[in-house]
């Protein structure tokens, strides 16, 4: 189960996420351990602490499997691009043999996360777009009802989330990587992939769980989406 992939790089941008960071990193490590059971080497995990003023660095220090990079660019696009560049350097192999997976620091990935992405790579996919869901128990009744009413099976297909995204590193480089923008760097990347007729696998299986908070680190994003659900329901 490699599809020609020899190494996996996981990129995680974070800005003041000390409350959720430990569970996020632990979930990625578990997913990497599952990947190793399929005969793959442990993934290169790069955490980019961007303009953090909290205890995120101290939390990350408890995870020796994680390479920590600190920056103050205050841009998720630049942070994700920096993490990918560092990860590719550490991978030490031809980008054509590297898979880049990304997630966010305010959620957690399922144990099958990386194995699922590589299974799609093995089937011929150049990139992977997966689903993201909030913990429903953390939603108030009104928001929970609004979310469930809009998310029937298949509803998330076609939506792009940097929290559940992966692609071949050579193609990532060929389309210019993540744009240096404050948001929607994930959407822009997939648009460039589609323009090149890349083979993109999409699934709602094994979604990534993300925070149910209403105030995010950038305007818009998933927190903004949840706020809008409340407004619409009202």
What is the pLDDT at residue 232?
A: 47
Identify the residue whose tokens are 């080497």: 41
What is the pLDDT at residue 228?
A: 55
**CATH classification code of 7-139+154-212:** 3.90.550.10
* Number of Cβ atoms within 10 Å of the Cβ of 17: 25
Per-residue pLDDT of the chain (234 residues; tens, 9 = 90+): 456 999 999 999 999 999 999 999 999 999 999 998 888 999 999 999 999 999 999 999 999 999 999 999 999 999 999 999 999 999 999 999 999 999 999 999 999 999 999 999 999 999 999 998 876 665 556 666 665 666 665 556 678 999 999 999 999 999 999 999 988 999 999 999 999 999 999 999 999 998 755 455 555 555 555 555 555 444
Please, what is the Cα angle at 82 between 217 and 96, to 5 degrees? Answer: 125
What is the pLDDT at residue 223?
A: 55
Which H or E run includes 226? helix 221-233
Q: List, in sequence order, every residue forming a beta bridge with 9; answer none if it has no partner.
A: 44, 100
Q: What is the DSSP letter of 205?
A: E
pTM attached to this predicted model: 0.86
- Give Cα separations from 7 to 2, 24, 34, 183 (angstroms): 9, 21, 14, 27
Bridge pairing between strands 107-108 and 200-210: antiparallel
Identify the residue whose tokens are 């792009």: 160
Strands (E), 72-174: 98-102, 107-108, 127-133, 165-168
Bridge pairing between strands 44-50 and 107-108: unpaired
């Amino acid at each position: 189960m490699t599809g020609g992939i020899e190494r996996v790089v996981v990129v995680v941008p974070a800005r003041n996420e000390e409350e959720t960071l430990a569970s996020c990193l632990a979930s990625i490590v578990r997913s990497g351990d599952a990947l190793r059971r399929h005969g793959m080497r442990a993934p290169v995990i790069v955490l980019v602490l961007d303009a953090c003023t909290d205890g995120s660095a101290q939390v990350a220090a408890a995870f020796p499997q994680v390479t920590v990079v600190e920056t103050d660019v205050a841009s998720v696009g630049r942070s994700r691009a920096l993490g990918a560049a560092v990860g590719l350097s550490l991978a030490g192999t031809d980008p054509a043999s590297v898979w880049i997976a990304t997630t966010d620091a305010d959620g957690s990935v399922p144990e099958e996360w990386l194995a699922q992405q590589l299974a799609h790579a093995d089937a011929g996919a150049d990139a992977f777009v997966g689903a993201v869901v909030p913990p429903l128990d953390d939603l108030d009744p009104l928001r929970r009802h609004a979310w469930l009413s809009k998310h029937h099976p298949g509803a998330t297909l076609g939506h792009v989330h940097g929290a559940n995204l992966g692609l071949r590193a050579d193609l990532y480089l060929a389309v210019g990587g993540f744009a240096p923008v404050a948001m929607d760097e994930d959407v822009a990347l997939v648009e460039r992939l589609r323009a090149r007729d890349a083979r993109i696998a999409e699934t709602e299986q094994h979604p990534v769980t993300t925070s149910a908070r209403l105030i995010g680190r950038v305007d818009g994003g998933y927190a903004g989406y949840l706020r809008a659900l409340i407004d619409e329901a009202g």
